[in-house]
Structure 1
Amino acid sequence: MDYNDFCTVDFIYSSFETKILFFLICQLLLYNIYTIEWQVRMLNLSPTVLLQQSQSLSISPKILQSIHVLQLSSVDLVSYLQEQSSENPLLDVLWTDNISSQRTKNKLNGVSSNTVVSLLELTANQEDTLEMMLVSQLRLANHSDRQYKIAKFLAGNLNENGYLTITPKEAAQCLHVSEEEVTEALDKVQALEPAGIAARTLQECLEIQIRRDENADPYAEKLVSCYLNELGAGKWKYLDRELNIPLDRIKQSLAYIRTLNPKPGLAYKHHQNLDIIPDAVIQKFLNRHMVSLNQAGIPKVSLNKQVQQLIFESGSKEAEEYMKKHVQTAMGLIQSLEDRQHTLFRVLEAITEEQMMFLDKGSFFLKPLNLKTIAERLQLHESTVSRAIQNKVVQTPQGMYELKFFFAKGPSTADGEAASAERIKCRIQELIDGENKSKPLSDQQLTEIMNKENLPISRRTVMKYREEMNILSSRLRG
């Protein structure tokens, strides 16, 4: 019903009830209109402009760049500078002869400023390394290009004992492939010679050797897979009860297990790491350890004055804006490089002062150290120290080490000092190397010896470190 209907004769002469109903509807509509207007006035819902203060955390592109540059290794830094120089014409990057090119010249000329390094380089290829030997076997096998590349990557991630130092998940992330593909490639590498290569644990290493031995002891695989700890602990009655085989038969299986090689990679020559360029060098001079940053191979970065002058003389506003933008970017990168060198040098000096005994006497004297100690000493944030030591290598009087190596953890000694895990492992290795091979030292005996040497360590910790070093228990070594 609309307005025209109300004005008709039919409505005028309609019943009294209809008129009353129409009146009530009109009243209800008016009431709703007044109510809404009152609420709007009370709540002040009219459009207004409000000024509010709020705090938010944001990181400028300059800070992000400084953080990124700080955590880059020398090799990655060179690649990053190459990328930046190609994008910014105002960035002048002066490339100098790096160490690798200098080595090539030395080989061609037959002379070297470092005779020892030159001799090592000239003889480095006389014997195949473990990785080279595995890769040559992979080439002869009938593998797809994709599987060959994955398997070759895994072969390059074995430690000197022949154990895999990377998980399939980590390898999959590095290669941008599925974890299943990495697992398949790992099976192919573990099928190569020597038997037991590319294992992830001591148990897996022994299992691989047993499965590939046609004359293997029939009980050896089950003993290693399910009862290796009990076998090492000499729980003969327990094994007799669980396996339901005579004790003499168990000892016969143990004799066979002792013939297996727990470190199949040791028989092969390993890389001398001659191609690694350290980020810094720590040398002792006049009874004092000096830190110097290695600038070899890293280009010098500056602003290109000639390009600046050409853009300025063009007189174009667009050219001036272009120059202003790229000058700021170049100056930010130069400042980031200076900050990186300054922070890295300070961190290295602090580490040198903390690890003085290690630099003089070796790994046995490595002191436990954490990021907080260095951060408080330099009044830096722990995250800054963490980024500074990432992907960095330093040459020391004791050899070449990653900076993360110096941040070791370990228990406290009886005199209140701290002993690093590296120090304890070194001592365990020394004791085992010098033991009577017919009567090898048990974990309990190793614990007692070190406790007498003011190293209060538990037998469980000794066993943990021994297994990390891939050393068999005394019963399996005897």
Structure 2
Amino acid sequence: MMQMDVRADQRHSQTLSPRLQHAVRLLQMSSLDFGTVVRDVLGRNPFLEAEERDDGDERDDAQDAVIDDPQDGPDLPERTARDAMEDVAERANETDRDLWLADSFAPARPAHEGDVSALDFMEADISLSMHLHAQLNTLTLSERDLALARVVVESLDDDGYLRTPLNELLAVAGAKPEAALAEMQIALKLVQSLDPAGVGARDVAECLALQLPQIECPHMREMARAIVKDHLGDLAARDMLALARALGHSPAEVEGVCDRIRRLDPRPGWRLSPPRVNYIVPDVIVRKDRGDWQVQLNAAIVPRVRVNEVYAKLFQRHRCAENAEMGAHLQEARWTQRNVEQRFSTILDVAQAIVRRQRHFFEYGPMAMKPLGLREIADEVGIHESTVSRVTNNKYMATPTGVYELKHFFSRAMVSANGKVCSGTAIRGLVQDIIEAESHEQPLSDAEITRQLARQGLTVARRTVTKYRQMLKIEAVGRRRRHTPAQTADLQ
């Protein structure tokens, strides 16, 4: 017969509360994402408000009326915190409504008064399709030809390419009678004749071929046409010797033509519809003041929030079971204010510790970067190593020499032949200096760079040099080689 046994077992385990988990997520966010979260809380939490940067602003009349203690002034009517906030909101709405009505009934100002907004001087954004449609409007075309050309324009992607086959455009053209493939080809040629040159191409070779008339020299233009048509792969690989053998010209002459081809635009659509640029906003700023490096938070990204103590005190005096939702809002407001202070206090402490450890980097550049681990900063600041990892993730530091991610200052130690310790960042800087000093006619391979480092007492594997070169976005030796007119090649 089956027996059941009940026992009590005690165990110790570490768990993160929802509040702590939320704080960890906020600490790991970038400043832009963190600002979005804070603004979202500001928009829905009645107890949280943005702190004005000008401390001289007067407080609202409604706050002055209720900030005094009831024992020192006239008795206040019994009302809840929600009623007080609704009164303030209603008064603000009435003020906005009065201003709106006053402005709407005001007489129109004449244009000669000279009141010009700064927006009037801003350049209007013109998309690629708008630019092409404007050119089509200036041409003398039949309605049918104009409609087919507009179909081609609307089918272009952001690069200015036509990725859709012409036979598929026939179905969406909607022409009556139905357009023939020859008519659509004529419409495509019409679009390809518009500005910018290269628009309407179906691949890179066609895009470059449409721009070849920009090359003034007929001989160079014909060589470029042959390269674009039949040897685009060798052009991409920078194999000048293979192109020279195929075209029957010297490598120096072929290289001059290839340089002219590279000045053509493989993405003509970007001239009018440039891709979105994600700008980096630094979290901390480092400056040298009186011989010492000072670290400060970037005030432009620090959200200034505070709990409205007037509403908080009023709610506490009239708190009841029906106001549980308002109590949750008050708790969230205090948590948000505390998280903002803790987040930026931790970022500042970590940044200051990094600057103290990497002082020579700010003085002398990447070659003076010291090996640094997360544990060293964690021990100095008095936080956990994982917290340092979260703080340095997607956080940036503005320095006199550029903007760097905080993780840039961490690298493992590498021991040289003489027993000295250096960082990987310093070796990357040395690799970059070696490549910048090389001969363009005889660039150094990764193996040769490895041997040069060894002669300086740095034992580094060739694959490590290759990795550092790729991190520096430097091309391989074959693509860095340049040919001079004095060089000759064996074309047999």
Range class of TM-score, shorter chain: 0.5 to 0.7
Write out per-residue CA displacement over residues 60-88 of structure 1, whole angstroms, 9 at most, x where no aligned residue.
12212211221223222221111112232
Partner of 2:227: 216
Partner of 1:154: none
Write out per-residue CA displacement over residues 213-241 of structure 1, whole angstroms, 9 at most, x where no aligned residue.
6312998566689xx79x89x9xxxx9xx
In 2: Cα distance, 1:436 partner to 1:372 partner:
42
In 1: Cα distance, 2:453 partner to 2:248 partner:
30
In 2: Cα distance, 1:465 partner to 1:263 partner:
30
Partner of 1:324: 327
Q: Note closer, same or farther for the CA distance 1:144–1:250 as it changes in structure 2 (3 Å cut).
A: closer
Which of 41, 54, 79 is equivalent to 1:84?
A: 41
Partner of 1:19: none
In 2: Cα distance, 1:219 partner to 1:150 partner:
23
8 Å Cα contact 2:445/2:476 also seen in 1 = no
Write out per-residue CA displacement over residues 191-214 of structure 1, whole angstroms, 9 at most, x where no aligned residue.
49997xxxxxxxxxxxxxxxx963
Write out per-residue CA displacement over residues 64-122 of structure 1, whole angstroms, 9 at most, x where no aligned residue.
2211221223222221111112232112222548xxxxxxxxxxxxxxxxxxxxxxxxx
Partner of 2:285: 281
1:430 and 2:430 matched: no
Which of 65, 70, 78 is equivalent to 2:27?
A: 70
In 2: Cα distance, 1:138 partner to 1:192 partner:
25
What displacement does 1:307 show? 1.9
In 2: Cα distance, 1:190 partner to 1:338 partner:
53
Q: Secondary structure at the match of 1:86?
A: helix
In 2: Cα distance, 1:471 partner to 1:453 partner:
24
Unaligned runs of 5+ in 2: 55-121, 133-151, 162-200, 209-222, 484-492
In 2: Cα distance, 1:192 partner to 1:94 partner:
57
In 2: Cα distance, 1:363 partner to 1:265 partner:
32
8 Å Cα contact 2:372/2:413 also seen in 1 = no
Q: Note closer, same or farther for the CA distance 1:143–1:470 as it changes in structure 2 (3 Å cut).
A: farther
In 1: Cα distance, 2:353 partner to 2:20 partner:
24
Partner of 2:406: 403
Partner of 2:474: 470
Partner of 1:305: 309
In 2: Cα distance, 1:62 partner to 1:265 partner:
56
The structure with the larger Rg is 1
Q: Comparing 376-385 with 248-257, which one deviates more in the overlay?
A: 248-257
Aligned residue pairs total 334
Q: Note closer, same or farther for the CA distance 1:150–1:50 as it changes in structure 2 (3 Å cut).
A: farther
8 Å Cα contact 1:278/1:394 also seen in 2 = yes
Write out per-residue CA displacement over residues 431-478 of structure 1, whole angstroms, 9 at most, x where no aligned residue.
333334344444444333333333333444434434552334168334
In 2: Cα distance, 1:337 partner to 1:357 partner:
32
Partner of 1:61: 18
Q: Comparing 303-312 with 418-427, which one deviates more in the overlay?
A: 418-427
In 1: Cα distance, 2:281 partner to 2:404 partner:
11
In 2: Cα distance, 1:439 partner to 1:348 partner:
43
What displacement does 1:358 show? 1.0
Q: Secondary structure at the match of 1:291?
A: strand
Q: Note closer, same or farther for the CA distance 1:75–1:429 as it changes in structure 2 (3 Å cut).
A: same
Q: Where do 1:406-417 residues align within 5 Å?
A: 406-409=409-412, 411-417=414-420
In 2: Cα distance, 1:60 partner to 1:253 partner:
72
8 Å Cα contact 2:205/2:228 also seen in 1 = no
Write out per-residue CA displacement over residues 111-154 of structure 1, whole angstroms, 9 at most, x where no aligned residue.
xxxxxxxxxxxxxx99xxxxx99x86997584669x64999xxx
Unaligned runs of 5+ in 1: 1-38, 98-124, 127-131, 152-187, 196-211, 240-244
Write out per-residue CA displacement over residues 303-362 of structure 1, whole angstroms, 9 at most, x where no aligned residue.
21222244345464312x334322222222222222212221221122112211111111
Q: Note closer, same or farther for the CA distance 1:299–1:224 as it changes in structure 2 (3 Å cut).
A: closer
In 2: Cα distance, 1:68 partner to 1:428 partner:
38
8 Å Cα contact 2:47/2:307 also seen in 1 = yes
1:455 and 2:458 matched: yes
Partner of 1:373: 376
Q: Secondary structure at the match of 1:215?
A: helix
Write out per-residue CA displacement over residues 265-293 of structure 1, whole angstroms, 9 at most, x where no aligned residue.
9999999x996542111222233222212
1:296 and 2:307 matched: no
In 1: Cα distance, 2:446 partner to 2:404 partner:
29
**Percent pairwise identity:** 28
Match for 2:360: what amino acid? M
